Structure 1
Amino acid sequence: MRYRWPLAFVLLVVAGALGSAFVGPGGVANGEDPAPERLLQPSEREGYVWPYTSRSRSVEGRTLALNVVVVGTPEAVRTVLTDRSELEWTPAENDQRLDESVSQLDESISQFDDSGSISPWRSARGAARYTYVADSRGAGEWVEPDYQLATGTYLGSRTHIRAYPGPSSDWTALQAHAEYWDWFRLRHTVTGVAEGSRTVERDLRDEPFVDDVSRAYHGYEGGGSDGWISVIRLSSATESAAMSAVGAADAAKLTLLGVVPAAAVLAAAVPPVRRRDLRDTALPLALVAIVLGVRSVGIAAEGLSPATNPKVFAGILYPLLAIGPLVVTALLARNRPSMRISLLAAAGLGAAFVLDFGAIGVRVVPVRLVLHRTALIGVLGLFAFGVADANRRIAGGGAILWLAMLVGTLLGMV
């Protein structure tokens, strides 16, 4: 059957596209406000919090679980994170200026810092997420994070936290997670909630202004939580210094080894390359160069111009990622053996995805994104086959499918 490979690619596209559209996070609770029995008292102090964040002021928008509680005054917690962190936590865009009270707090607790140095910090950005806090189980309100912190690069991978001070001013709940910038979705993809809490724990565990780091079981699962929450207690001396200074003045998962499994199968199916066919390798190498190049240039631009919103660089580079694979395939697959070049194109794109994840330290990705990448691999293989076979119908169909999948992804279908 002449077109068995195009048919195989079409089936790969359909399976990946449908899977990525329907596989996603689990359901959420109904209703606007959380039920009183769903509220958590983070410590022996006063105040309650819903142990999740939400995209809206409603439990129906539930996203990630709160996974860290730092016991101490909000002022002390914020200063400890922003100025005493070995990980160089950075305040969010709307918190670029530390007020005079925090500056005085830096000086007043310098006795706890052997070096006396302050970690450098820069602006970080993140979408608004809400949680529900209450003085008692009877009544409360939806609040935005008081500030957001991050370490890493916006267009690469980072650990991102959102901070929600309690109503009693004796504790701050954090939502910490690991995430990376997905160039095809033009937004961040969360890869781990547990990893986020472990990062905060490691950062503060051995600091002299921390009395204790432990974990408590609250039993509320979902949103990436296994029912446990990290509890970090600041020393009383730190809290006293803070008050004195103030008085004076942010899927199912698969391991990376399983990312784009179809790519490995396709790569294994590629016939041995003879010396005279070495030019065929130019296509997979070009695809790898495009994907890794866009990531590298974006991170470099972010570092060279930290005051510029990283989304500006994303907007400039995205067309290269969206159109580049089609252009190089159209140029390099022409007049080549159709079966071999289509498999090489698919294998090259799959290798580019794996290398990209590895370069930014991503070890797990959501299943729906694995399926989405698998579909893109199938689409490009179909397009390469049409170009090599001089079949405009197949090539045109592949190009349309490629663009349609990108548009659907940007519209939030994945």
Structure 2
Amino acid sequence: MRRKILIVLVLIGIAFVFIGGPSLFASPSTSDVAPEEDEAPDLVTFDDSESGFWAFMNSAQSFEKRSPINVIVRGDSGDVIQALSEEGNGEWEEMSENETDAEPETYSFLSEEQHHATGLEWGEAAGTTRYAWVDPGPNESGYWMTETLQLDNGDYYGHRMHIRLYEAPNENDNWVAMQGHTEHFDWFTLRHRVDGVESAQLAIERDFMSLPSIDNRSDVTRINIENSGPSDADGWATLVDLVGMILLPVGMGLTMASQFGDRTTSVLNRHLTRVDRKRIAVVTDRIEARHLMLAATILTLFLGVRIIGVVLERHVDFLSMHMIAALLYPIIAIGIPVATYAIAHGLERRMDAAITASLTLAVAIWIDYGAMGVDSLPIDVVVQRMFVVVTIGLIAAGAARRATRDTHWNSLLLTGVLIWVLVLGGTLFGYF
């Protein structure tokens, strides 16, 4: 019993050190649990316009401060849409999904010759609506409006930027409010998860600044509209002045660069004692081919789903988004725990199997986040990831030979399988 308790404590420690700790202390969105709510919201207005808008949008018609507006373009809505969706502008495609639901069917919006860089046709948005509060001005009442257009850049099953556009309620007011954010597809929850708003805002800002008609910085500025708080929003929105300009196709470029430095060896040499080195040597001697096989299998299954999902999305036209999810999700939900059990069953020590499986899954999660450019996570995702990391370790420990001497269905394995089913099932049904 003491050994089992020790295994559980070690797994919890791994989950916190490699998942919970870095996410909670480094992620700017982990504190967004209960958004504030305004009863009488202040409006963003302009001197030459009668109408105004509230600085947030929401999934419901309520004044919860959830999704901050972060780009405002002064100009005709048609010109703004042309600037973002003109053929040859780069990799923008019209949005067909939102960050939480998967409704992949799209409909023709532009001509058949205009395509996304991946080969997808432009299609009208069919995802769940987000509401923005607008006030037309004197003698009229404010109301909730739905987005004029949704656009995205990237892959449905990978990482993408997503913007929603809301045009002024009055024809002559010439403004378009936009909410841009980055998001990635979460294979554990089968939903899109918003990563943050700042990087998308910067990309849209650079996109407009690349217009030939914008020849000085005064046309693209930032104004404080006091909507900081959600995600990594700082309250400053980009203001683009397109009034009177002749718009040309805009180029959109996304670059990701990462630098890795390895100072592990020098740090170990400075701080490890002789006893520490002996302990490491003992652990190293216990490593066998099956440990490496277990680690490689978990990495391959987890990261392979991401890669295959993007490949199928780009190159297999007859598969819908739902069909791709139906094909690949069982690899996450069933394939990983089954493969973990099958390989770990050949290992002798429960602790070795548990640590190998948990550490590998934690590393796979961080590799995936790094590839997707994720830099912030909500608290519910952090907790869920900690659970799956602990659970896969319990399954591996329960599969080891020392755990299955008397019966295959031991307490470690049963606990791991039960928690795995509850966590993934609860997540899919919205309880997690």
Scaled by the length of structure 2, the TM-score of the pair is 0.76
Q: What is the CA-CA distance between 1:367 and the residue it aligns to?
A: 4.1
CA distance in 2, matches of 1:328, 1:160: 36
Contact 1:209–1:235, Cα closer than 8 Å, also in 2: no
Structure 2 counterpart of 1:113: none
Q: What is the CA-CA distance between 1:194 and the residue it aligns to?
A: 1.1
Q: Does 1:402 align with 2:420?
A: yes
Structure 2 counterpart of 1:177: 181
CA distance in 2, matches of 1:285, 1:55: 40
Q: What is the CA-CA distance between 1:185 and the residue it aligns to?
A: 1.1
Structure 1 counterpart of 2:359: 347
Contact 2:151–2:162, Cα closer than 8 Å, also in 1: yes
Q: Does 1:365 align with 2:366?
A: no
Pick aligned residue for 1:162 from 158, 161, 164: 164
134 and 305 in structure 1: CA distance in 2 versus 1, 3 angstrom threshold: farther
Q: What is the CA-CA distance between 1:235 and the residue it aligns to?
A: 4.7
The superposition leaves residues 229-261 of structure 1 with CA deviations (integer Å, 9 ceiling, x where unpaired) of: 10111151438x9xxxxxxxxxxxxxxx9xxxx
SS class of match (2:377)? strand
Contact 1:87–1:203, Cα closer than 8 Å, also in 2: no
85 and 167 in structure 1: CA distance in 2 versus 1, 3 angstrom threshold: farther
CA distance in 2, matches of 1:292, 1:195: 24
144 and 5 in structure 1: CA distance in 2 versus 1, 3 angstrom threshold: same
Q: What is the CA-CA distance between 1:320 and the residue it aligns to?
A: 1.0
CA distance in 2, matches of 1:145, 1:269: 58
Structure 1 counterpart of 2:268: none
CA distance in 2, matches of 1:9, 1:308: 42
The superposition leaves residues 206-225 of structure 1 with CA deviations (integer Å, 9 ceiling, x where unpaired) of: 21244611111122323343
User: Map of 1:139-288 to 2, 5 A cutoff?
Assistant: 139-169=141-171, 170-210=174-214, 212-224=219-231, 225-238=233-246, 272-274=283-285, 277-288=288-299
Contact 1:178–1:190, Cα closer than 8 Å, also in 2: yes
Q: Does 1:393 align with 2:411?
A: yes
Higher helix share: 1
Contact 2:35–2:230, Cα closer than 8 Å, also in 1: no
Q: What is the CA-CA distance between 1:277 and the residue it aligns to?
A: 1.5
Contact 2:205–2:220, Cα closer than 8 Å, also in 1: yes
Structure 2 counterpart of 1:265: none
Q: Which piece of structure 1 moves more, 314-323 or 359-368?
A: 359-368
Name the aligned partner's letter for residue 378 of structure 2. P
Over aligned residue pairs, what C-alpha RMSD do you find? Answer: 3.5
Name the aligned partner's letter for residue 232 of structure 1. V
CA distance in 2, matches of 1:42, 1:294: 48
SS class of match (1:139)? coil
Q: Which piece of structure 1 moves more, 80-89 or 46-55?
A: 80-89
Structure 2 counterpart of 1:45: 49
SS class of match (1:222)? coil
Structure 2 counterpart of 1:2: 3
CA distance in 2, matches of 1:270, 1:152: 45
96 and 282 in structure 1: CA distance in 2 versus 1, 3 angstrom threshold: same
Contact 1:270–1:340, Cα closer than 8 Å, also in 2: no
Contact 2:15–2:362, Cα closer than 8 Å, also in 1: no
307 and 227 in structure 1: CA distance in 2 versus 1, 3 angstrom threshold: farther
SS class of match (2:369)? helix
CA distance in 2, matches of 1:294, 1:27: 32
Contact 1:52–1:223, Cα closer than 8 Å, also in 2: no
CA distance in 2, matches of 1:411, 1:131: 27
222 and 280 in structure 1: CA distance in 2 versus 1, 3 angstrom threshold: closer
Structure 2 counterpart of 1:246: none
95 and 72 in structure 1: CA distance in 2 versus 1, 3 angstrom threshold: farther
Structure 2 counterpart of 1:412: 430
CA distance in 2, matches of 1:307, 1:136: 48
26 and 378 in structure 1: CA distance in 2 versus 1, 3 angstrom threshold: closer
Structure 2 counterpart of 1:64: 67
The superposition leaves residues 295-339 of structure 1 with CA deviations (integer Å, 9 ceiling, x where unpaired) of: 111000000135754233112211111111211111111141211
The superposition leaves residues 71-113 of structure 1 with CA deviations (integer Å, 9 ceiling, x where unpaired) of: 111111111111167442212346632389xx9xx9xxxxxxx
Name the aligned partner's letter for residue 347 of structure 1. L
Unaligned runs of 5+ in 1: 107-116, 242-256, 258-267
Scaled by the length of structure 1, the TM-score of the pair is 0.79
CA distance in 2, matches of 1:10, 1:237: 60
Q: What is the CA-CA distance between 1:13 and the residue it aligns to?
A: 10
271 and 158 in structure 1: CA distance in 2 versus 1, 3 angstrom threshold: farther
Equivalent pairs counted in the alignment come to 369
Name the aligned partner's letter for residue 150 of structure 1. D
CA distance in 1, matches of 2:428, 2:422: 10
Q: Percent of counterpart pairs with the same letter?
A: 29
SS class of match (1:133)? strand
Name the aligned partner's letter for residue 340 of structure 1. D
CA distance in 2, matches of 1:222, 1:276: 47
